[in-house]
Structure 1
Amino acid sequence: MAALLPALTILSLVAVGIDGYRNVTISTLASAVAKGAVCLDGTPPAYAYSPGFGDGIDNWHVYLEGGGWCENTSSCLDRSTNGLGSSPKLISSKNGIQSFGGMLEDNSTFNSDFYNWHVFRIFYCDGSSFTSDVEDVDPVHNLTYRGARIYDAMMDELLRIGMGNAKNALLSGTSAGGLATILHCDKFQALFHNTTRVKCVSDSGFFVYGEHFMGADRREAFFSDVVSTHGLTNTLPTSCTSKFRPTLCLFPENLVQDIKTPLFLMESSFDSYQIGENVFSPSDKSPRWANCTHNLMFCNWTEIKIMKDFRYTFINTLKSTITDSSSRRGYFVHSCYRHGHMAYTHGSTCLIGNKLANKTITQAVGDWYFDRSGFQEMDMLNDLPRTCTTTDDEATFEKNCSDYYMQH
């Protein structure tokens, strides 16, 4: 089960590129401690805030970090020793600075719709996609399961500094943060006046159960352990738990249909994390499979067939989930082998070799967010995983990206 955890390892191997153009200081929210809103190790949660400017002064983008989950005491204890469970460890590992890239950056050429918004990046230190709320501290290991309180405390802080008066507001997140975005989307919308445009974007957060695809029992068992460890039975959306077992309410296919707030899904049908970590258990993984999932050049036809079967499961699951959706649902489902887009320049704003309906991911989200046009596109032509990264140096990469936007 522990193999489901290292999302950041896979992401760092797949989503290489230019990761940001502005560095923002990481801060801790001391006021959260009095509310019991603390990380696994009991330290206050952390965030990085870049104020809006110009005509973006009334617009807010709140971004939830990802990084897998911990499913038992041992794995949560391990997280408490690093930046995924401890804010001091996070700050130390990053030297107190976080780079803002992709749709979080202030580059008006690459990120024209969102470049001058307030950006509030919430770091992930609870291991439950910001959903746990256990009053008692583990007396043996001194672990605290309070992800939902962290989310609430951060929202309180955002309202205190002015987000409640927003004209436009966006909640987004990647991976486990993308799942958290789905779980909290309607709750986020409830913070605002009816005149505020409020929408949500989940990036690589559509983790499939895939009941008839290999590994389903293991995926269900893992999330069952997450629910048990973090006490999530009563914190997951009742719109889902009234119909399904709590375990199944961590799978977006059982959540999305009930979300009332406009939601955009930014996904790959060849999600590298789900393919690499959620299909085989560690004991069943062969060295060949490990090499293949880290570099498609090492894959044989049998391994590619497994990936194609995953794509089939993913697309059919997503289609059945959004069958009755209106333009409130947007989606961009491509065939690049990757996991994570929004916070990476190479994954969103400048992934110019990966367009659907002649739009990049960033352009699609912008059109959908501002109601210029709906966007519901899946790549149904490419049924093989594609490597969409570049080996260009930074200067060449930036020039190619600039040239693209100048021409479009």
Structure 2
Amino acid sequence: MLVILISLLSLSRSDISGSNTIRQFFSSLVSLQGIQKNLNMDCLSSTSTDNAYLCFFPQFALANIRTPFFILNSAYDVYQFHHILVPPSSDPGGHWSRCKSDPGGCNATQIATLQGLRSGMLTSLRQFKSKPEAGMFINSCFAHCQSELQDTWFAPNSPSIDNKKIAEVVGDWYFERGAAVEIDCAYPCDSTCRNLIPIDKNGFAGA
């Protein structure tokens, strides 16, 4: 079995200004490194030559992976939030600075935008949710990687959904102990979250 602990599931999306800066970035990356030939062939065969770089994005590549996989992601992934949904170029006036450093500081419009981020991810997941060989844990914490720390993976106060921690759901999937799909309710409902918002050297949330 293959465990995919992925934190960029909804990667290909527009930012708050309407630009898709992340597509432009990865298109340039695929071209610069000449890695198109190494992308999934099934994905490439269903994509136009001009858009071959899309197969670099998980939501397109995963559909062509036949090995069983497990998806671990936050619906409010802070990397996507800070660098894809609200990159610095989309917010030159810094109107999102407070919200990016503390979700409690977001206004109603910003919360609605973040709920759109979550909705987009759940839409991307629909094609995998019904696959019996796929598992997933999608919580509503503001975090990026939740598998590398014991505190978030499996500790007494680790994030959980339906009283199940990440490690327990992954274990259910790996050992085929039944359904292993857990999707959290929308922010701010989850009181078990440990929000992991990166801070830069100046003391501000990563932009």
Give the TM bin, normalised by the shorter chain: 0.7 to 0.9
Q: Quote the residue 1:302 is aligned against.
A: 109
User: How far 1:276 sits from its partner (Å)?
Assistant: 1.2
User: How far 1:303 sits from its partner (Å)?
Assistant: 1.5
Task: State yes or no: 1:275 paired with 2:81.
Answer: yes
Q: Distance in 1 between matches of 2:15 and 2:85?
A: 12
Q: Contact between 1:351 and 1:360, CA under 8 Å: does it hold in 2?
A: no
1:222 paired residue among 8, 25, 34: 25
Q: TM-score, normalized by length of structure 1?
A: 0.43
Q: Distance in 2 between matches of 1:297 and 1:345?
A: 25
Superposed CA RMSD: 2.4
Q: Quote the residue 1:42 is aligned against.
A: none
Q: Contact between 1:199 and 1:261, CA under 8 Å: does it hold in 2?
A: yes
Q: TM-score, normalized by length of structure 2?
A: 0.81
Q: Contact between 2:14 and 2:84, CA under 8 Å: does it hold in 1?
A: no
The equivalences for 1:277-356 within 5 A come to 277-285=83-91, 286-319=93-126, 321-322=127-128, 325-350=130-155, 352=157, 354-356=159-161
Q: Distance in 1 between matches of 2:8 and 2:189?
A: 19
Q: Quote the residue 2:201 is aligned against.
A: none
User: How far 1:210 sits from its partner (Å)?
Assistant: 3.5
SS in 2 for 1:377: strand
The equivalences for 1:79-98 within 5 A come to none
Q: Distance in 2 between matches of 1:273 and 1:386?
A: 20
The equivalences for 1:371-382 within 5 A come to 371-379=176-184, 381-382=185-186
User: How far 1:240 sits from its partner (Å)?
Assistant: 0.8
Q: Distance in 1 between matches of 2:156 and 2:74?
A: 13
Q: Contact between 1:337 and 1:386, CA under 8 Å: does it hold in 2?
A: no
Deviations 1:137-158 (A, max 9, x none): xxxxxxxxxxxxxxxxxxxxxx
1:263 paired residue among 42, 46, 69: 69
Q: Quote the residue 2:194 is aligned against.
A: 389
Q: Which amino acid aligns with 1:327?
A: P
User: How far 1:232 sits from its partner (Å)?
Assistant: 1.3
Task: State yes or no: 1:200 paired with 2:3.
Answer: yes
Q: Which has the higher strand share?
A: 1
Q: Distance in 2 between matches of 1:386 and 1:378?
A: 11
User: How far 1:216 sits from its partner (Å)?
Assistant: 5.6
- Aligned pairs, number: 190
Task: State yes or no: 1:249 paired with 2:52.
Answer: no
Q: Distance in 1 between matches of 2:16 and 2:107?
A: 20
Q: Contact between 1:331 and 1:377, CA under 8 Å: does it hold in 2?
A: yes
- Look at both structures and tell me which one has the larger radius of gyration over its CA atoms: 1
Q: Contact between 1:270 and 1:310, CA under 8 Å: does it hold in 2?
A: yes
Provide structure 1 residue ranges, at least 5 long, that are not aligned to the other structure: 1-197, 391-408
Q: Which amino acid aligns with 1:246?
A: A
SS in 2 for 1:322: helix
Identity of aligned residues (%): 27
SS in 2 for 1:199: coil
Asked which structure has the greater RCO (Cα within 8 Å, sep 6+), the reply is 2
Q: Distance in 2 between matches of 1:362 and 1:312?
A: 25
